[in-house]
Structure 1
Amino acid sequence: MRNRIMRAARLLLCAAAAHIPVSATAAGFDIGKASSNFELVALSDAELSGRSLNAIHMGNVELTSGRIVAADPLAQPDRPALARTVAPGEYPVTLYQAFGRIAAASMRFAEGKPDHWELGVLPGQDVATLKDGEIFGYPVDAGLGCYMDADTLELIGEREAQAQAQKPDADVNYYDDVLAADLDANKGHYALHRPVAGKKGNVAVFWSGWGDGFYPVFWGLDRDGRALVLLTDFNVVENADGRKEPKLQ
């Protein structure tokens, strides 16, 4: 419990820092300034390779309700789902790797190049309230990001209880006691994790770029406003190009 309280305090500090405007001279959110990497989802594997980017096709995430949680699964085990939903189903996740790190992660719902993009928000968040330089996103405190269905959160809790039952006299750490074995199979970079064997609902877990920080997610929409893809940008590359490492701000 003490560890969770300390972690929550760090997350509040992180979220507050992300909401401090870089510039207060202009109001309004500009999606074009939020990310320069939207083109990633429209490039073929060969085109990505030509830009020194490696595509990792993880497999499908099972969305049992269509309510998507994008978060650090260890730091925020109870984060709300995004306000926009999709039809329940199984959807492929692709990671984009550059400089030995996960630069971005996408989940694809339908084929096609997005006509426009919008910032992913939680219920109650309003993009119109953002000032220049501000953005909504999720804080990372364990070096990981993920995509999963909101229902899968209960399965993580169930798996944690199982692990605790096996070690009744010790504190259970979900990373060390459960998740690490899956991640180790892919050098710690990613895993398609199933919390409870035999139950539908899995988690695409991946390394969050340079580690801890605050990261936005974006919906790529078609002309009619239908969701085609969800993208998390970890700020490792610029302009969907891994041939030149961006300068740290």
Structure 2
Amino acid sequence: MIFDSLDVSYGDMWGSQQGTAHSDPMPRAVAARRHAAGTDYAVLLSARERPLALAEYWPRRMWRLYLFDDRSWRVQMIDLKQHGTGMLLAHRNTRWQFSGEQEHASWKWDVQETTTVSADGQVEVRSEFAGPGASVPEGVPVRRFAAPLESFLCPAPEFGEWQVFAPFLAQQGHEPAAALVLSDVPVDEGAGPLRAAGIEQLFRPGVHDTPNGQAAVEPVDAGLLRITSGRLAVSDPGWVGEDPRTVAVPRGDFPVTLSLVRTPHATEVAAARVTFVDVPPRAWEMALRPDEDLGLLGGGQFYGVGVDTGTAAFLDATRTVDEDRLDEDVFVPLDSRFAVELPGTRSGPNLIAFRAGRGDGAYPVWIGRTDDGQVGCVVVDFRLHPAAGGE
């Protein structure tokens, strides 16, 4: 196929490998800011409603390029890294062959061929047969030879210079015309990060309509949280030492409230709140780390607390946990309860852990501020309630 134009869309890495546009597209301006900040994003290049390549921008100015064949199957992956010449070196090129559509969908390849290129042009080509999990025959074919380095180099693109990837498309039979036009797929440039809307409703008792029927919201007391350092941490209790998300707050003992959502099928924790000033918040803001920039987020995206144990917790930033006792002290009790407290010493900080919505994932943390700018409350929203999370 010869093409003279490419449609360009932007999104997160792994955001689209099948369609002609990202399922959650990112405005061009956001992608450009990510490029300038060295933060990951992806560029999907399509032609005639068919995907041709997905280029992922990795840290340290590296790129990974996925190529698609005429069936829109992802059949090739090229890793490009910085070379001493100032260009990009295609140092690893992997191709796959599949016997049919079902095998491709389940990623059971028949042949995998990997070409590795050193910085001085030494090439190794290794072929493997049979799919993952199957035995690989002894004596895997390997070829080694020297080749002109120039044939493996390409310019490192500035943002928007996606023509530099066009020559790679020929490896799947997609021939670019001499004059290639790039056209951005239209995206709502006004779409921004996730906004805090309906947070107060998360803790307002009553019956609400949901896509799965009616659900009853019930706020419940989860105890008093003791803050001794002036820093609240929000973390998975199994990863307390791994750079938790923190907020500057007053010292003292403060109530923790869970929002339970009850349906005929289950009762789940929809949100958790620790209240520092008992007045309705005037404004909400996302809890950010110093290195996080809202300008790098696409539509509906957020920075939040990561959960890997199905559990989240409020704690003082100085509080530690005994990992050997987490099962006995936290995870097992939460099988039959919604929240559990790990006491501190007489004057030391405690920890209040609670079930995290429907389990593992990432969840936004919101700071509610009073009229005079004080932190009135901090809320973790597990995004179960229909009003949660806003737009």
Shift of 1:41: 6.5
Checking the alignment, whether the CA contact within 8 Å between 2:339 and 2:352 is kept in structure 1 is yes
Pairing 1:214–2:381 present: no
Shift of 1:181: 5.7
- Structure 1 match to 2:328: 177
Checking the alignment, whether the CA contact within 8 Å between 1:39 and 1:239 is kept in structure 2 is no
Shift of 1:115: 1.0
Cα gap change, 1:188/1:197 in structure 2, threshold over 3 Å: closer, same or farther? same
Pairing 1:37–2:198 present: yes
CA deviations 1:50-100 (Å, max 9, x no partner) are 5411111111101111211111111x2213354530121111100000030
Cα gap change, 1:189/1:80 in structure 2, threshold over 3 Å: closer, same or farther? same
Which of the two has greater strand per residue?
2
Pairing 1:141–2:308 present: yes
- Structure 1 match to 2:57: none
Cα distance in structure 2, aligned partners of 1:178 and 1:191: 8
Q: What SS is found at the alignment partner of 1:128? A: helix
Aligned-pair identity (%): 25
| TM-score, L = length of structure 2 | 0.46
1:119-198 matched pairs, under 5 angstroms: 119-153=286-320, 156=321, 159-160=322-323, 172=324, 174-180=325-331, 182-183=333-334, 187-194=336-343, 196-198=344-346
1:78-157 matched pairs, under 5 angstroms: 78-82=241-245, 84-99=247-262, 100-153=267-320, 156=321
Checking the alignment, whether the CA contact within 8 Å between 2:224 and 2:254 is kept in structure 1 is yes
Identify the match of residue 58 of structure 1 among 219, 222, 225.
222
- Structure 2 match to 1:225: 373
Cα gap change, 1:98/1:41 in structure 2, threshold over 3 Å: closer, same or farther? closer
Q: Where does structure 2 lack aligned partners over 5 or more consecutive residues?
A: 1-11, 16-21, 27-186, 209-215
- Runs (4+) of structure 1 exceeding 4 A deviation are 15-18, 196-199
Checking the alignment, whether the CA contact within 8 Å between 1:21 and 1:134 is kept in structure 2 is no
Cα distance in structure 2, aligned partners of 1:36 and 1:207: 22
Cα distance in structure 1, aligned partners of 2:380 and 2:341: 17
Cα gap change, 1:29/1:80 in structure 2, threshold over 3 Å: closer, same or farther? farther
Which of the two has greater helix per residue?
1
Q: Where does structure 1 lack aligned partners over 5 or more consecutive residues?
A: 1-14, 161-171, 241-249
Cα distance in structure 2, aligned partners of 1:149 and 1:16: 34
CA deviations 1:160-218 (Å, max 9, x no partner) are 4xxxxxxxxxxx4x33233246435xx13211222x55452111100001111110100
Cα distance in structure 1, aligned partners of 2:257 and 2:350: 15
Q: Please identify, of 219-228 and 140-149, the stretch whose mean Cα deviation from structure 2 is larger.
A: 219-228
Cα gap change, 1:83/1:101 in structure 2, threshold over 3 Å: closer, same or farther? closer
- Structure 1 match to 2:48: none
Cα distance in structure 2, aligned partners of 1:68 and 1:59: 15
Cα distance in structure 1, aligned partners of 2:270 and 2:309: 16
User: For residue 257 of structure 2, what is the amino acid of its counterpart?
Assistant: T
Checking the alignment, whether the CA contact within 8 Å between 2:202 and 2:385 is kept in structure 1 is no
Cα gap change, 1:91/1:231 in structure 2, threshold over 3 Å: closer, same or farther? same
Pairing 1:69–2:222 present: no
Cα gap change, 1:211/1:82 in structure 2, threshold over 3 Å: closer, same or farther? closer
Determine which structure has more spread, i.e. the larger CA radius of gyration: 2
Cα distance in structure 2, aligned partners of 1:17 and 1:222: 39
Checking the alignment, whether the CA contact within 8 Å between 2:365 and 2:381 is kept in structure 1 is yes
User: For residue 258 of structure 2, what is the amino acid of its counterpart?
Assistant: L
| TM-score, L = length of structure 1 | 0.70
Shift of 1:29: 3.6
Q: What SS is found at the alignment partner of 1:84? A: strand
User: For residue 226 of structure 2, what is the amino acid of its counterpart?
Assistant: E
User: For residue 85 of structure 1, what is the amino acid of its counterpart?
Assistant: A
Cα distance in structure 1, aligned partners of 2:224 and 2:357: 21
User: For residue 229 of structure 1, what is the amino acid of its counterpart?
Assistant: C
Checking the alignment, whether the CA contact within 8 Å between 2:246 and 2:317 is kept in structure 1 is no
Checking the alignment, whether the CA contact within 8 Å between 2:231 and 2:317 is kept in structure 1 is yes
- How many pairs are equivalent? 199
Shift of 1:132: 2.0
